[in-house]
């Protein structure tokens, strides 16, 4: 288990010198192993090492072994771009799997475009983007945020909304979409409270008090949380300290999964919700096999989570695209990958679409005392990811299609490729 033993390293990982550089296919892993996002990203590095080791045990790819190259951008957003350039230019990786926050993804986009490599991005995000060199295997807003709000409206009869997020592009753009969506559903402006805090924020006393006060107006209130990273620990703790119960003001989170809960005292979280496209508790043969492999690989009782499944899907799609193209050349992979289907872990086949997003089921889970989720709602079918929101006027007219239109933001009214739209 060579790569398993290397999983604890936080810097570049390579196979023994017995493998010359031209005898391996290098795969870049770009995840924060230190800093505020390490709580979420470190496990994705280990998941990738497991997938690479498993593929090598099957004989590798195109007759060669895969070689993992791991770097630590340390939750430093400009450093992500520097490390991406290092992976592509110096290490000569064929593809990169990485990033978590949207600000880190946006930091590296110019590098992948300039150097023409491919990034597989495994985390839910705000949409409003479709890049030729990026494959979005996490959820777009129509695969997470919108269904979560629908669930709270329909099942919890929520009428007042707190949109609480970390202060960067993903929460701000997602909340812009959600605010427009809520208003389209007849929610009054005074029934929407929006709040942002910096990464690593720890003093939640005032904000928790404001949430409690906002929820005391006689209307059912919920918190839609795009709080990211280790700030979630004191956030939930303070809600519990102030007696904010899930039965009174439920919180639905988009960035809290099994890995984050493993570091929490779950007592104040029981009954709160999360919206994802995968939970460890899902009972399918594919998921059972994945969990068994993960526990064997880590030799510990470590949990699985949604972004891990997104890497599982993205990695297997890349493998199939390389085999289909007969090459790891990024242009060949980009042409070959659209239409590729692979099993997901919750049942069914996920497909890479022409907009470089995938089809995913949507699940709502309720936090249990053991840190797992009980699935309380799921879509009947897999939902295709939308690159552009129907609820923002400037986006509703845009379409992404990298097969026929060769454009990520095609204006359907003017019938032109309009270039990058500012978020």
**Max Cα separation, the chain?**
69
Q: How many CA within 13 A on the CB side of residue 77? A: 12
User: CA nearest 286: which of 313, 258, 264, 268?
Assistant: 313
Domain 2-139+283-360: state its class: alpha beta
pTM: 0.90
Residues 6+ apart with CB under 8 A from 114: none
For residue range 255-270, list pLDDT tens digits in order.
Answer: 889 988 887 788 888 9
> What's residue 18's pLDDT?
40
Q: Which two tokens stand for residue 228?
A: 């990211």
For residue range 181-232, list pLDDT tens digits in order.
Answer: 999 999 999 999 999 999 999 999 999 999 999 999 999 999 999 998 888 8
Residue with tokens 């089921």: 361
Q: How many CB atoms lie within 10 A of CB 374?
A: 11
> What's residue 1's pLDDT?
36
CB 311 within 8 A of CB 97: yes
Distance CA 270, CA 236 (A): 10
Residues of the chain within CATH 3.40.50.2300 domain(s) are 2-139+283-360, 142-281+364-384
Q: Which two tokens stand for residue 311?
A: 């890497």
User: CA nearest 377: which of 139, 125, 152, 138?
Assistant: 152
> What's residue 263's pLDDT?
72
Q: Which two tokens stand for residue 290?
A: 């994945």
Residue 92: is it exposed, middle or buried by C-beta count within 10 angstroms (0-12/13-18/19+)?
A: middle
From the options 3.40.50.1820, 3.90.420.10, 3.40.50.2300, 3.40.1350.10, give the CATH code of 142-281+364-384.
3.40.50.2300
Q: Show the low-confidence residues of the chain (pLDDT under 50).
A: 1-20, 420-423
Q: How many CB atoms lie within 10 A of CB 316?
A: 18
> What's residue 113's pLDDT?
98
């Amino acid at each position: 288990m060579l790569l398993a033993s290397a999983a604890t390293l936080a810097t570049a990982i390579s196979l023994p010198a017995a493998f010359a550089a031209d005898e391996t296919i290098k795969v870049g892993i770009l995840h924060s192993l230190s800093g505020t996002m390490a709580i979420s990203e470190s496990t994705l590095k280990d998941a990738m090492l497991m997938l690479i080791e498993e593929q090598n045990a099957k004989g590798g790819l195109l007759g060669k072994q895969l070689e993992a190259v791991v770097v630590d951008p340390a939750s430093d957003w400009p450093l992500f771009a520097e490390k991406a350039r290092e992976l592509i230019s110096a290490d000569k990786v064929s593809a990169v799997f990485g990033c978590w926050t949207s600000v880190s993804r946006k930091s590296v986009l110019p590098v992948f475009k300039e150097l023409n490599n491919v990034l597989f991005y495994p985390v839910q995000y705000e949409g409003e983007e479709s890049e030729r060199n990026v494959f979005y295997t996490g959820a777009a807003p129509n695969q997470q945020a919108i269904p979560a709000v629908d669930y709270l409206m329909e099942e919890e009869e929520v009428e007042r909304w707190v949109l609480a997020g970390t202060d960067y592009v993903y929460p701000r753009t997602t909340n812009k979409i959600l605010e427009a969506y809520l208003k389209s559903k007849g929610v009054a402006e005074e029934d929407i409270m929006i709040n942002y805090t910096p990464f690593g924020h720890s003093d939640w006393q005032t904000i928790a008090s404001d949430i409690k006060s906002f929820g005391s107006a006689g209307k059912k209130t919920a918190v839609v949380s795009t709080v990211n990273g280790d700030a979630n620990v004191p956030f939930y703790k303070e809600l519990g300290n102030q007696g904010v119960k899930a039965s009174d003001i439920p919180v639905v989170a988009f960035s809290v999964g099994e890995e984050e809960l493993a570091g929490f005292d779950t007592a104040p979280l029981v009954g709160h919700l999360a919206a994802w496209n995968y939970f460890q508790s899902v009972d399918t043969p594919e998921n059972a096999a994945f969990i068994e492999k993960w526990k064997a690989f880590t030799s510990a009782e470590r949990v699985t989570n949604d972004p891990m499944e997104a890497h599982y899907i993205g990695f297997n799609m890349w493998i199939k695209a390389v085999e289909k193209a007969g090459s790891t050349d990024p242009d060949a992979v980009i042409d070959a990958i659209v239409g590729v289907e692979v099993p997901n872990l919750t049942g069914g086949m996920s497909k890479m679409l022409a907009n470089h997003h995938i089809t995913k089921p949507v699940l709502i889970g309720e936090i249990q005392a053991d840190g797992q989720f009980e699935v309380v709602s799921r879509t009947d079918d897999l939902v295709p990811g939308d690159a552009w929101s129907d609820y923002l006027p400037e986006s509703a007219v845009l379409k992404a299609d990298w097969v026929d239109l060769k454009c990520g933001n095609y204006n359907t009214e003017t019938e032109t490729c309009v270039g990058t739209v500012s978020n």
